Structure 1
Amino acid sequence: MAKYIFLTGGVVSSLGKGIAASAIGALLEARGLKVTLQKLDPYINLDPGTLSPFQHGEVYVTEDGTETDLDLGHYERFTHVQSTQKNNYTTGKIYFNVIKKERLGHYLGQTVQVVPHITDEIKSAIRSLDCDGVDVVIVEIGGTIGDIESLPFLEAIRQIPYDVGRENAMYFHLTLVPYIGSAGELKSKPTQHSVKELREIGIQPDALLCRSDREIPQEMKKKIALHCNIEEESVIGAIDVETIYEVPLVLHREGLDTLIAKKFKFNTDPPKLDVWHNVVKTIKNPSNEVTIAMVGKYIGLRDAYKSLIESLIHGGIANDASVNFKWLDSEELEKHEIDEYMSDVDGILVPGGFGIRGIEGKIRAVQYAREKKIPYFGICLGMQCAVIEFARNVCGITGANSSEFDTECTEPIIYLMEQWFDFKTNTVQKRSMESEKGGTMRLGGYPCLLQESSNAKDAYKKAEITERHRHRYEFNNNYREILQSKGMRFSGLSPDGKLVEIVELTGHPWFLGCQFHPEFKSRPTEPHPLFKAFISSAIREKRSLFPTHGMTALEQRR
């Protein structure tokens, strides 16, 4: 039977529960244990798929095609977990399941209530992860203690020890220990009040993760332990760090994994953390430096591109380089001369998105990268913009557009396919505009065959790959021949050759667009091949423009 760790948060939101849960998972994996993680979100939406990126950040897509919370991206980047629909539940999803059961007569006429029916459904979702030899299930509860919508989840995890045994469950509470400048000291009172509220619900934490911008003195830890009814060694300092990938190392130094091993009686060797030390060392002391322009439409909230940011950092790690981000609003690029924005960048990335806003700015960025021979990486919508730009400005198809942006366009280079063959299910998928999301999307992992002597094949070093998708519109094969005749190469195709997955340009240092989202499969310890190749090309082209004459690229920049 698996052990359970429940992570709650208090005082303020955005303390980093997802990072903390992921770091705990990384530490336990480093001890040779098998872990899985789950996020329980208190909002009533069935999933984040329809939420605005400005409000909720990115939608992370799992291999099985589930649209989930962005914290699942952290889980997969820090551990070897491959998430599924079982790893993310919302209030909406829980209630939806209960209501369906009630309509089918599952409860045999009982009055359906929060306790026990909703809490039982939550517990069932948690317990469903106790399979496949998992040693520890780590469950993160979204929201902050005191939020009314979190109460059913808190009640459910309060009950879990009665089902599995108190010795098989631990409660961690993440709090804030703020430094008050005018007083010149750290304050523990917010933590005390947060724990008091948690205990009123019936949950006594086994350990506290205390966020702070500086080291927490031992005397302060002793005070917190006394007032919160825990052991002094269970007050774990979680201080701010330069990179999130340093968090497992900080928590290990504070004795967190030792505490867990002691509680659960795990007989394991000390964690092997060399890989994390190497990752942090490379990030802090790189030999190279590049600047990448991120041309997006949701840059007001950087979490909308969380996996992309991390994947570019991973590409930097693979090349012993730091990656600087130059955030460019694609709407602004529609209004001004693009040279003033792009003159100091070493690579250009156009990410995914939905809708027409800012599209012409993205297309201008593609044109600039193509004409100036700057390494270009287009992802999902970024690939579609690359195809539209090439059709307009190289092939002379002036009306080229996507039917997503103009339903009446005469040259729909990008369009809605009526049907396609799904190699995951070996069935033909037909698009239904009456579906609840306004049309069927391709979601999750799909296979792709790579062409020989291409940037894609050089990066992956294999002929067949599987990558995750989240899109509705596809390349229109009616235009494949003319674009190919002008120098666009279709280097990645579905196994039946009907779906274009990757495009490249001949005669360009590195220009690649992919219909899928490679950022969902990158880890700091295993950087994604395309991000590794993109950053490598940016470094290479930068050096060709500015010969080193004995100087490193970093020295040149300085």
Structure 2
Amino acid sequence: MTRYVFVTGGVASSLGKGITAASLGLLLKARGLRVAIMKFDPYINVDPSTMSPYQHGEVFVTVDGGETDLDLGHYERFIDVALTRRSSVTAGRIYQEVIDNERRGVYGGATVQVIPHVTNAIKDHVYGLAKQSEADVLIVEIGGTVGDIESLPFLEAIRQVRHDVGRNRVFYVHVTLVPYLKAAGELKTKPTQHSVKELRSIGIQPNAIVCRTEQPLPRDVREKIALFSDIETEAVIENLDVATPYEVPLRLRKEGLDRIVVERFGLSLPPADLSAWEEVVERVARLSGTVRVGIVGEFVALHDAYLSLVEALRHATIAHGVALEIDWIDARELARGNPDARLGKLDALVLPGTWDDREEDGKALASRYARRAGIPFLALGYGFPVALREVLGVWGSEGPTEAKGLPVSASLPGYGWVGARPVELAPRGMLSEIYGKERIEERMRHREGVPFSWAEELGRRGGLPEAWSEGREYLLGFRLEGHPWFVAVQFYPEFASRPTRPHPLFLAFIGAAVKARARTPLR
């Protein structure tokens, strides 16, 4: 008997619906419930794989190869589960399924309409994940804001769920903004009132309202919101701006959101044990010193394009007890300027992965600087072949993209490798020591692979092969011999990092950066 929690948003985007959903999932899991989670995005793209990161931030890759919205990264980091493509559904995917069904005659010649065909398809995804996951509670986030025309079919579908399964198995959380007007010196509830009115006009009565705010909500403000929204005052939840999103579950627990949900479902459960989470937040408050890490990429103007990478770095710096300072470096500007001057004050350097080879010159210059200056360096995803070509001296403007008549990369079959794949590590190598094993699984997202035959040439340039695919068909990682810490891997370990369990590769990388900082305190 799965219960359903639907999270909607109003007033404005970027209010933290994803963090709210993830935090509630963490709280309910900590109370002993089996939790599943999913997101509906109202855009017409089938998935975000072809979208520019400037449009929607990073593409988060699930273990089964789903290319999904970045909010799934929040879900995984908070609830600590490995999600699948079933947890990310777009309007484009829904419409594609409905049209395919119509072409196959599934609807028996009926006129295909938004109601019931599109809304039924949406509900099928909800009930399908509930059945497949055997969850006690399924949390469903609806992307966009109430009032958006493209969100209407999803809102109608979740309204119908209450009719299908019964009121006592459905809980609606509405996330809104309560702005503070400095000139007036007061909080304004009118945006929330209008948002709730819009939601109620389509038949959804929120059970709780999570108010994003810069200032604490006084009792009278809460009562006013409750009165106009027809909910209990205690169901008006304050969500203050915080220094780190990892504080949000603790704040929502203090506000009693999980207790209200549990009581609504008629469950008797022990309080949420968040001791491990509390330890992370306490560590953040005790950080001493700073590590400055440069991230060189082509989408650095939008930091969400590298969200999971930043969080993985932060997990590792928290574990090492130091603060993270990121220097965002545009690869294009680096290629046009003086790389040594631009990179000279860094403690470590990261070359993140992307889906293509644009701005390779700037990225290769970053690799060359790290190699010559001896600072810790980590290349990920597509950063791996860039670093490899730089070490081989066949990158971009420095030379052809092949050497000795052989291509440095080869196209992979189909759409490439997307999702978790097995990786073999060199026995007694640096990576096998970091991971504590010689066989791992990591998530990948690339179209081209580097033939393992290049391992010999790499060895002549001072590189040591550290990771490869099964059967040694493709090289997947190397390090530089004699360098303090220079590692390049063609996978994305950041997707598997957790606040309470930092990824070992990032722990090792930040550990090397901390040592480098100690050796050069004037940087």
Common fold, TM-score beyond 0.5? yes
Residue 13 of structure 2 aligns to a residue in which SS? coil
Q: Distance in 2 between matches of 1:159 and 1:344?
A: 57
Alignment CA distance shift 1:201-1:506 (3 Å): same
1:29 aligns with 2:32: no
- Give 1:420's aligned residue: none
Quick check: 1:399–1:411 contact (8 Å CA) kept in 2? no
Quick check: 1:299–1:329 contact (8 Å CA) kept in 2? yes
1:475 aligns with 2:476: no
Q: Deviations over 1:176-197 (max 9, x none)?
A: 0000011000000110000000
- Give 2:410's aligned residue: 415
User: What is the Cα deviation at residue 400 of structure 1?
Assistant: 4.5
- Give 2:116's aligned residue: 116
User: What is the Cα deviation at residue 398 of structure 1?
Assistant: 5.7
Quick check: 1:391–1:400 contact (8 Å CA) kept in 2? no
Residue 496 of structure 1 aligns to a residue in which SS? helix
1:508 aligns with 2:483: yes
- Give 2:176's aligned residue: 175
Amino acid at match of 1:126: V
Quick check: 2:47–2:93 contact (8 Å CA) kept in 1? yes
Quick check: 2:58–2:70 contact (8 Å CA) kept in 1? yes
Residue 43 of structure 1 aligns to a residue in which SS? coil
User: What is the Cα deviation at residue 410 of structure 1?
Assistant: 5.8
- Give 1:428's aligned residue: none
Quick check: 2:40–2:141 contact (8 Å CA) kept in 1? yes
Residue 129 of structure 1 aligns to a residue in which SS? helix
* Structure 1 alignment gaps of length 5 or more: 404-408, 418-430, 433-439, 547-555
Quick check: 2:5–2:138 contact (8 Å CA) kept in 1? yes
Alignment CA distance shift 1:221-1:449 (3 Å): same
Quick check: 1:400–1:410 contact (8 Å CA) kept in 2? no
Amino acid at match of 1:446: R
User: What is the Cα deviation at residue 52 of structure 1?
Assistant: 0.6
Amino acid at match of 1:413: V
Quick check: 1:282–1:321 contact (8 Å CA) kept in 2? no
User: What is the Cα deviation at residue 82 of structure 1?
Assistant: 1.7
Q: Distance in 2 between matches of 1:459 and 1:255?
A: 41
Q: Distance in 2 between matches of 1:179 and 1:185?
A: 6
1:363 aligns with 2:338: no
Residue 401 of structure 2 aligns to a residue in which SS? strand
- Give 2:87's aligned residue: 87
1:18 aligns with 2:13: no
Quick check: 2:280–2:499 contact (8 Å CA) kept in 1? yes
- Give 1:449's aligned residue: 424
Q: Deviations over 1:288-325 (max 9, x none)?
A: 42000000100111111011111100111221221110
Q: Distance in 2 between matches of 1:63 and 1:316?
A: 25
User: What is the Cα deviation at residue 511 of structure 1?
Assistant: 0.8
Q: Deviations over 1:25-81 (max 9, x none)?
A: 011111111101110000001000001111111111100001111100000000122
Residue 316 of structure 1 aligns to a residue in which SS? helix
Equivalent pairs, count: 521
Q: Distance in 2 between matches of 1:144 and 1:288?
A: 40
User: 1:94-243 maps to which residues of 2 (within 5 A)?
Assistant: 94-131=94-131, 132-243=133-244
TM-score by length of 2: 0.97
Q: Distance in 2 between matches of 1:323 and 1:142?
A: 30
1:525 aligns with 2:481: no
- Give 1:544's aligned residue: 519
Q: Deviations over 1:229-256 (max 9, x none)?
A: 1000100001100000000001011111
Amino acid at match of 2:213: S
Q: Deviations over 1:250-289 (max 9, x none)?
A: 1011111111111112211111011111111112221342
Amino acid at match of 1:143: G
Residue 408 of structure 2 aligns to a residue in which SS? strand
Q: Distance in 1 between matches of 2:140 and 2:493?
A: 26
Residue 334 of structure 1 aligns to a residue in which SS? helix
* Structure 2 alignment gaps of length 5 or more: none
User: What is the Cα deviation at residue 541 of structure 1?
Assistant: 1.9
1:354 aligns with 2:349: no
Q: Distance in 2 between matches of 1:213 and 1:516?
A: 39
Name which of structure 1's ranges 201-210 and 501-510 shifts more when overlaid on structure 2.
501-510
Residue 269 of structure 1 aligns to a residue in which SS? coil
Q: Distance in 2 between matches of 1:30 and 1:214?
A: 28
Structure with a larger share of its residues in helix: 2
Name which of structure 1's ranges 36-45 and 470-479 shifts more when overlaid on structure 2.
470-479
Q: Distance in 2 between matches of 1:104 and 1:257?
A: 44
- Give 2:329's aligned residue: 328
Quick check: 2:22–2:79 contact (8 Å CA) kept in 1? yes
**Structure 1 stretches (4+) deviating beyond 6 angstroms?**
none
Amino acid at match of 2:470: P
- Give 1:50's aligned residue: 50
Quick check: 2:452–2:468 contact (8 Å CA) kept in 1? no
Residue 524 of structure 1 aligns to a residue in which SS? coil
Q: Distance in 2 between matches of 1:101 and 1:194?
A: 35
1:391 aligns with 2:392: yes
Q: Distance in 1 between matches of 2:503 and 2:287?
A: 19
